[in-house]
Amino acid sequence: MVGTRGDAGPGEVLVKIRGGSEAFLAFSDEPLPKGTTVLVVDTRGARTVGVTPWTDPWGDQ
Task: Give every CB contact of residue 30 below 8 A, 6+ residues apart in sequence.
Answer: 6
Can you give the pTM of this predicted structure? 0.82
The span from the CA of 41 to the CA of 24, in Å, is: 13
- Distance from the Cα of residue 14 to its chain's centroid: 7
pLDDT 10s digits, 6-60: 889 999 999 998 899 999 999 999 999 999 999 999 999 999 999 999 988 887 6
